[in-house]
Structure 1
Amino acid sequence: MEEPYFTDPVITQLRDQLEAAQGALRTVGTYLEARDVAAATLAGHEQVRTSPLSTQVERAIADVGATLSATTPGEQQYGDHVARLLSRVMADIDRCKHGRHTADDCDGCPGGQSAGNPCLMTGQHIGYGMNREPLYVPLPADRYKPEAWRTWPGERHTRGDLTWGIDHTDPAAPPIAPKPQ
């Protein structure tokens, strides 16, 4: 069972309401403190005694603060959740219109084998990264490698132990969209 997850706008709205309540409690706390000082002054006491209501308001302010701290989504926690959601999208991106992965058996595709996503041709230029580098659809076998999305798959690429892109000596190499200029 998947854990419940509040969307960012819901969390933001709830946190805004808690912060507003905390501000109101601080105002009440300031008023009660001034009232306690005035009562001590009128009674001629040198020491100010805090009323039970002031103590309860202070506890409520602390509780709201603790709740706000506990509900602050950490970057890693939020990032992990987004990464899980995006990994689901990426896992499905090569499916044909019948829901089957590329090369899986599919009764709806010609020949009984899934042709994959007809909108994503290997080598197709699909956009740009943050640093203006072009993004391409990699070979199906390389789609789990982030580096492969940043280089045209019509050429062989190597970084450390990682190799991706087309092997022109392989007779079963898929057709690749021409490299854009």
Structure 2
Amino acid sequence: MVFRKESRTDSFQRQISTLRQQLGSDEDEVDDAEELPTYSAPAEAAARSPLPSIESQRRHQPPRMSDASTGVVSANSSWSGSLRSEGSIQIFGTIEGELSASDEIYVAEGATVDARIRARTIIVAGAVTGTIECLGRLEVMPSGSISGDVTSPTLIVHEGATVEGDVKMQSPTPVE
């Protein structure tokens, strides 16, 4: 008994030949034994092409505005003072002062915030300087940077992000 490893092309050619024999067709009648296109296995193709990075696979999109309780500071806009929301806040511009939201604060890529921030969920893709008090989950995206003191029960820092300052992890507290 002889064992041999055959390629998928050889296996395909052998199956076609067997099928022709079973159907009773002659090679002379049907001349479609042209050169078949070469087939490369997925593993071989993957070895030749570079793998996409995690960042190219997943670009963070800002949270969708689901209702009228989402406040937005648009790009090329600035706010100085105290901003409070019973819903969410999305920042695409510049903020100085104090931010507080019952639900979520999203700091977009290119946005700058110099403030005391408090919310249940905080996502940072831009630059934040100041004190952050997160009551649930704080996520720093690859383009995000935080410089200041951070308190959060859950902290996610993506590759490429920077966090500079004191970080305290403690159990979640209810939003007041």
Q: TM-score, normalised by structure 1?
A: 0.29
Structure with greater strand percent: 2
Structure with greater helix percent: 1
